[in-house]
Amino acid sequence: MTRIIVVTSGKGGVGKTTTSAAFATGLALQGYKTAVIDFDVGLRNLDLIMGCERRVVYDFVNVIHNEASLNQALIRDKRIDNLFILPASQTRDKEALTIEGVKNVINELSESFDYVVCDSPAGIEHGAYMAMYFADEAIVVTNPEISSVRDSDRILGLLASKTKRVIEHRTPVKEYLLLTRYSPERVKNGEMLSIEDIQEILSIPIIGVIPESQSVLTASNQGIPVIINKNSRAGLAYNDCIGRFLGEDIDLRFVDTKKNGILSKLFRGR
Amino acid sequence: MGLFDYFHANRKSANVAKERLSILIARDHFHRNQPSFLSALQNELLEVIKKYVDIDHDDVVVSLDREEDCEILELNIALPEKGRYTSDPDSLDQKNKI
C-alpha cells in the first residue's frame, strides 16, 4: 500500500524542500521505492536541492496535461536507484494543478511506489491545498519562531478539514511536528521557544528536531540532500526522523547544551 | 526606570513569545470554530439596525459559545452616543414618540 506524505508548513522558508529531499532520500536509502513531487509550480526548487536541475525535460504539469507520460517526466536519482523526482513546471502557475490531474498522477505512482512525498508550496492557497489533499501523513515543518508556529497551527486546521481523508470520513491525516533551525543555546538563554513550548501550543507528536546547522546551506549549494552527509548534525537528525517515521524508538539528540563532550566539539556548527 | 520597566526588561523574550502565541492561537481557534452563518447574520443585523441607528460594522458582535450541551448565541450591539442617531425624519419621529 503506497503511503502519501505531504511536507507542509504554511510559512515560507522554514525548510519544506530541504525536508522533502531529506525524507525522500532517507526512505529510499531504507530500501523503499520513493517518488518526491514538487508542488511549487512556478517556483521550482526541489530539483536544485536534489541536484538534478539539468536533467529536467518534462514536468508535473506536462504529465497532468497529457503532454508527456509520467515515466518521461520522472527523473531517476543519480545516487540512489529507487528514488525518483517529479519536478514542478517553472513557467505555469499553480492553477494548472487540478484535483483530477493530481489524482491520476498519484494513482499511477501508487502502482509501483512505496512512498510518495509531496513538497508543498508556502501559503494556504490552491498549491498547498493540492499538495495536502491526498495525504495519509503530514510532516508540519516549523521554526521555533512565533509566526511559523502560528502558520503551522493554521495548516493543521486545514489538514483536519480540507483533505480527502476527512471528506471521505476515513481516519484523519496523521500529523507530525518537525522542528527545524533549533538552537539549544538560544533556548537555554530564553531567546527561543523550546520544544516543549511549541508542542504545548500545537499538541501533535514530534517526529524530530533539526538543529541550526551550516551543513544545510552547504548541501543546498552542492545539490546533495543533507541527510546523505553523515558528518552533519542536521543530516543525522533527519536520519533519526526516518527511523521514527518507520516505527523505531529513537531519542531526540542535539537538543540540549549539556553534552559538551568530544561529540559536540566534533559536530560544532555542522 | 520604574519597577515595572525593570521586570519587563528582564523578561525572557521566549516567554513573551509563548504568552503572545497562546493568546493568538486561542483567538484563531475561536474564530475557526464559529459556524459560517455568523458573519452573514452579523451583516444582515447591521443592515437592519443601520436603518434606525447610525452604527459601524464593529458595533455589532455576534458570537456562539458552548457550555456543556447548551449553545448560547450572544448578540452585542453598541449604540452610539446621542447625536449620532440617523437623520432620517421617519426614524426621528419614531424616536420622539418613544
Mean of pLDDT over chain B: 77
Greater confidence (B46 vs B88) lies with B46
Under an 8 A CB cutoff, do B13 and A191 touch? yes
pLDDT, tens digit (0-9, with 9 covering 90-100), for A201-244: 999 999 999 999 999 999 999 999 999 999 999 999 999 999 99
pLDDT at residue A70 tops 80: yes
pLDDT, tens digit (0-9, with 9 covering 90-100), for B30-64: 778 777 788 888 888 889 988 988 888 888 888 87
pLDDT, tens digit (0-9, with 9 covering 90-100), for A123-135: 999 999 999 999 9
Distance from the A35 Cα atom to the nearest Cα atom in chain B, whole angstroms: 34
Pick among A124, A148, A150 to test the B interface (most B CBs inside 10 A): A150
Side chain identity at residue B27, one-letter code: R
Burial class (CB within 10 angstroms; exposed 0-12, middle 13-18, buried 19+) of A264:
middle
Whose cell is 508556529? That residue is A149
A142 in Cβ contact with A150 (< 8 Å): no
Distance CA A207, CA A175 (A): 9
End-to-end CA distance of chain B: 56
pLDDT at residue B85 tops 80: no
Residue of chain B nearest A189, judged by CA positions? B12
Nearest to A201 among B12, B15, B22 (CB): B22
Cell digits of residue A113:
511506489
Cell digits of residue B65:
459559545
pLDDT at residue B8 tops 70: no
Q: What is the ipTM of this complex?
A: 0.85
pLDDT at residue B95 tops 50: no
CB contact, 8 Å: A191 with chain B?
yes
- Name residues whose C-beta falls within 8 Å of residue A119's C-beta, 6 or more positions apart in sequence: A7, A16, A17, A20, A21, A36, A37, A38, A39, A40, A46, A131
Distance CA A170, CA A173 (A): 9
Mean of pLDDT over chain A: 95
Distance CA A181, CA A255 (A): 11
Whose cell is 437623520? That residue is B87
Greatest mean pLDDT range, A73-82, A86-95, B87-96: A73-82
Using an 8 Å CB-CB cutoff, list chain B residues near A191.
12-14
